[in-house]
Structure 1
Amino acid sequence: MELLPLFAAIQRTPRVALTLSFVLFTLTIVPALYSLLANPTLPLLISSSETDGPFPSDHVHLSPLNSPSFRTLSPVNSPIPAPPYHTRHQKSSSGKIPSPNISPIPVPPDHTLSRHQHSSSHQSSSPVNGPIPAPLNSSPVTTSTLRTQIRDDEQRCDLFKGEWIPNEESPYYNNATCWAIQEHQNCMKFGRPDTGFMRWRWKPDGCDLPIFDPNEFLEMVRGKSMGFVGDSISRNQVQSLLCLLSRVEYPEDISSSPDIAFKVWNYTSYNFILHVMWSPYLVKTTKPDPTDAKSNFFSLYLDQYDTKWTSQINQLDYLIISSGHWFYRPLIFYENEKLSGCQYCSLPNTTELPLHYGYTKALRTSLRAILENFTGLAILRSFSPQHFEGGPWNKGGDCARTRPYRRNETIPEVSDLKIHDIQLEEFRAAEEEMEKKMGLRLRLMNTTQAMLLRPDGHPGRYGHLQTEEVSSRNDCIHWCLPGPIDTWNDILLQMMKTEK
């Protein structure tokens, strides 16, 4: 007697068919349901808006920066007009999504305004103002083909002297995949036609700077905390870091208050806490009184700490501070609780103090706060240059270049590098004091030279919708995301690795 085929046997045996169906259901449907429940997709929003820094005039002193190609301007002792405030209102985070993604991310194929729906007020939607897009896939982050370590024979390499070279692997995120990009940094959103500014990497002389590895960073900071203190350029770096890390995990907003100037995020899988602390002047400051017509100036107490951040740094393992652009406003200065003078104020019976007087004193005080209250790795990031050409920020100045300078090129008048000189002097003085204190490591992230060569990396006219009333407000101070500022986090990680 011939044996029946298997399917015939099943058809003739209902109990066997029922059993087999149950087994197949268990092996396929149940694991899928478990995966869905274990990894839900929840919306996550960011809140980091704050009053952005001023756009300083180009009527300032430009000192050479270790290169004969940098031109020198004479100072002009005239007031610098304060630009309008640029507030960015965003919603807070409500959850955490672990979301591995693949690297690198291709540039979106279409960057025209037709991709975006605008309201009657010309406000365009953005990943910052809505739910975070779902990960493109669930693949692990891949390691760049570029080297991930500096060889032993390159350890003495100066990370801050070098050249920008092409990098076809970048960008590693874009304006469709990163939720932390603010409108005025979203250079592709409002029609920027070129993408080349995203495709360069910093090449120090004598070594290759490894590209930022989000897995390596998060493992290094596991169980630790990091804080950034400064103005909107400092926040610009934080948003770059958030974007780079979003390829591995989205953080949870654990801020203790709705104050958008002080944000705290937790990468729960790594127990890593990231603080953002707003302090554009670094020292105690009072704002102008809107009810007093004569009170038009910020008042800086140059010898007093800004306790909003100095009271928190003893909880941190890493601290990065920076500032500069806000010190071109008209200001009033107090020392020893007494009025000591002003800058661009023209007030009766008040000493007119020179430009940079206030910055020198404020930076010295903030470094003293670190020396007295911090044990860990503290980094002073140097001044971030502006690149206005054809006029100052409020008279049609723009930054329309589409490639980096070579370091042997003559660079047009750029921002005031006297700030950079002051930073070097005050850092060296604080470094000598640091040797007397156990546990503190104070380092300088001297990125000014590298960023001088990147006039192509600012939003310019593509930081907002082009309308007649705002077409002249070009942003040549902040940096596009993705863009040259991502290199700051390449350098940050390398400095952390060196200290470890």
Structure 2
Amino acid sequence: MAARDDHHNHVKKIPLFPLLSLLCFASIFLVLSLSRKTSSNPLISHQSFQFGENPVTDPNVALSGTCDYSDGVWIYDHEPRPARYDGSCKEIFKGWNCISNNKSNGWELTKWRWKPRLCDLPLFDPVYFLDKYRNTNIGFVGDSLNRNMFVSLFCTLKRVSSEVKKWRPAGADRGFTFLNYNLTIAYHRTNLLASYGRWSANANGGMLESLGFKEGFRVDVDVPEGTWAGAPAFHDILIFNTGHWWWAPSKFDPVKSPMLFFKKGHPVIPPIPPDVGLDMVLKHMVLFIEKNLRPGAIKFFRTQSPRHFEGGDWNQGGTCQRLQPLSPEQVEGLFSLKNNGTNVEARLVNRHLMKALKRSGFHILDITHMSEIRADAHPSTSGGKKHDDCMHWCLPGVTDTWNDLFVKHLNNIKFRD
């Protein structure tokens, strides 16, 4: 009993304040040590490239969640995860199949992953996706860059569920239903969103004829192109884009074949330039989509995919021969609006998108910033064209990350309780 009392008295004599101080110091030391280890990760410090511009996402139409997924770095994984698909996927357009076309860095493209600064963007799970979105129709509406994204999603899903039915729902250019899940994905091709076609002067004259116009392209700003007009009523989830054809003088020569805009069947007088026409088209198409949207449907608008021509545009000898992502300085050199360079199209288009989509209810899928860095990920000379393809993306490649972003945000949105 005496021995036990002596031991009890000995413990009571230890001062409490020094003990707490020692524990506090040890905790601080441990936190600092862990922080130092994280910051010295060789993958991040030596193999990542970043872009330091503020995102374009408008707070009124921003995707749900607290993380800015558009702000981050590309990290090279020396031991990458298994590829989600490869060049054997038959839906890949031949010119985009950089692995089969033996592009020198074709396989390297699968080793880069996007790391947002304040969170993670995991590869989406295709099996979970198919199960979660059973009995769902998903439509991509836009130009060939949206087809690029559509094919990426299809190949990822096809790898885990091969029972598919090929068809063209609601006027789509192409589409597939995964039979075991009754999940349909489709691509509706449209270059301008609005309906357009060749226009020639009438021998009897008219307003445009009186101004000296002889030929061009008629663009009806308030009429959706028939290839996708039925899409809003058919699909449960929609992903739209437009932009590349609006700055395409090779298609719409401002002198020889200008865009001539019509509203309610009559020419807009005085004639307006393409950028003003884009604003008018976006305004009317947003209204059309919201009026005809299937009840409970979710709609995204993808920001502009950047081109990476250097030394001139596609028809001026421009090339994209880089095999590594760009540094922040190189990004600004190619895309800064102040430089008025070959590739400023992306940021110009985004300005118009942000204006038109403000308070529209669209969810904005901001892929521009992460994609501007990836000058290494285009088909380039392996695309099989007479010029370098510095517009579309190799598959597998960057558009796989677009789909990771799309699915991440989609899963954050309330959909069919």
* TM-score w.r.t. length of structure 1: 0.60
- CA separation in 2, counterparts of 1:241 and 1:362? 28
- In structure 2, the residue matched to 1:306 is 225
Structure 1 gap ranges (5+) = 1-64, 69-153, 342-350, 432-441
- In structure 2, the residue matched to 1:488 is 402
1:191–1:247: structure 2 CA closer, same or farther, 3 Å change rule? closer
Q: How does 1:59-74 map to 2 (within 5 A)?
A: 67=53
- CA separation in 2, counterparts of 1:188 and 1:296? 43
Task: Give per-residue Cα distances to partners, 1:450-498, cap 9 Å, x unaligned.
Answer: 1111111111111017xxxx2xx11111110001111011011101110
- In structure 1, the residue matched to 2:19 is none
- In structure 2, the residue matched to 1:340 is 268
Correspondence for 1:363 among 240, 265, 282: 282
Task: Give per-residue Cα distances to partners, 1:260-300, cap 9 Å, x unaligned.
Answer: x52231111001122211111111222468xx9x9763321
Q: Note if 1:452 corresponds to 2:382.
A: no
Q: How does 1:310-321 map to 2 (within 5 A)?
A: 310-321=229-240
- CA separation in 2, counterparts of 1:215 and 1:384? 28
- In structure 1, the residue matched to 2:344 is 415
- Say if 1:170 and 1:200, in contact at 8 Å, map to a contact too: no
- In structure 1, the residue matched to 2:15 is none
Secondary structure of the structure 1 residue equivalent to 2:314: coil
- Say if 1:405 and 1:411, in contact at 8 Å, map to a contact too: no
For these two proteins, the number of residue pairs brought into alignment is 320
> Which of structure 1's runs of 4+ aligned residues deviate more than 4 A?
none
Secondary structure of the structure 2 residue equivalent to 1:390: coil
1:408 Cα offset (Å)? 5.8
Task: Give per-residue Cα distances to partners, 1:25-55, cap 9 Å, x unaligned.
Answer: xxxxxxxxxxxxxxxxxxxxxxxxxxxxxxx
Correspondence for 1:398 among 319, 332, 337: 319
- CA separation in 2, counterparts of 1:444 and 1:340? 30
- CA separation in 2, counterparts of 1:373 and 1:424? 22
- In structure 2, the residue matched to 1:79 is none
Q: Note if 1:378 corresponds to 2:302.
A: no
Which amino acid is the alignment partner of residue 481 of structure 1? L
Q: How does 1:35-50 map to 2 (within 5 A)?
A: none
- Say if 1:229 and 1:322, in contact at 8 Å, map to a contact too: yes
1:182–1:313: structure 2 CA closer, same or farther, 3 Å change rule? same
1:228–1:256: structure 2 CA closer, same or farther, 3 Å change rule? closer
- In structure 1, the residue matched to 2:189 is 278
Secondary structure of the structure 2 residue equivalent to 1:248: coil
- CA separation in 1, counterparts of 2:215 and 2:320? 30
- In structure 1, the residue matched to 2:168 is 255
- Say if 2:147 and 2:187, in contact at 8 Å, map to a contact too: yes
- Say if 2:221 and 2:277, in contact at 8 Å, map to a contact too: yes
Q: Note if 1:462 corresponds to 2:382.
A: yes
- In structure 2, the residue matched to 1:164 is 74
1:405 Cα offset (Å)? 2.1
1:312 Cα offset (Å)? 3.2
- Say if 1:170 and 1:199, in contact at 8 Å, map to a contact too: no
Quote the sequence identity (%). 29
1:288–1:483: structure 2 CA closer, same or farther, 3 Å change rule? farther
Secondary structure of the structure 2 residue equivalent to 1:475: coil
- Say if 1:228 and 1:275, in contact at 8 Å, map to a contact too: yes
Of 162-171 and 484-493, more deviation after overlay is shown by 162-171
- CA separation in 2, counterparts of 1:384 and 1:495? 18
- Say if 1:197 and 1:402, in contact at 8 Å, map to a contact too: no
- CA separation in 1, counterparts of 2:129 and 2:331? 37
Correspondence for 1:221 among 120, 129, 133: 133
1:410–1:493: structure 2 CA closer, same or farther, 3 Å change rule? closer
- CA separation in 2, counterparts of 1:397 and 1:412? 15
Q: RMSD in angstroms over aligned alpha carbons?
A: 2.5
- Say if 2:139 and 2:231, in contact at 8 Å, map to a contact too: no
- In structure 1, the residue matched to 2:245 is 326
- In structure 1, the residue matched to 2:209 is none
Task: Give per-residue Cα distances to partners, 1:287-344, cap 9 Å, x unaligned.
Answer: 468xx9x976332101223344232322221011001101124222112311126xxx
- CA separation in 2, counterparts of 1:214 and 1:410? 32
1:171 Cα offset (Å)? 3.1
- CA separation in 2, counterparts of 1:295 and 1:219? 55
Structure 2 gap ranges (5+) = 1-50, 55-63, 204-212, 253-258, 335-342
Secondary structure of the structure 2 residue equivalent to 1:394: helix
Q: Note if 1:477 corresponds to 2:391.
A: yes
Task: Give per-residue Cα distances to partners, 1:358-403, cap 9 Å, x unaligned.
Answer: 2211122221112111131100000001010011100110111111
1:303–1:246: structure 2 CA closer, same or farther, 3 Å change rule? same
Secondary structure of the structure 1 residue equivalent to 2:364: strand
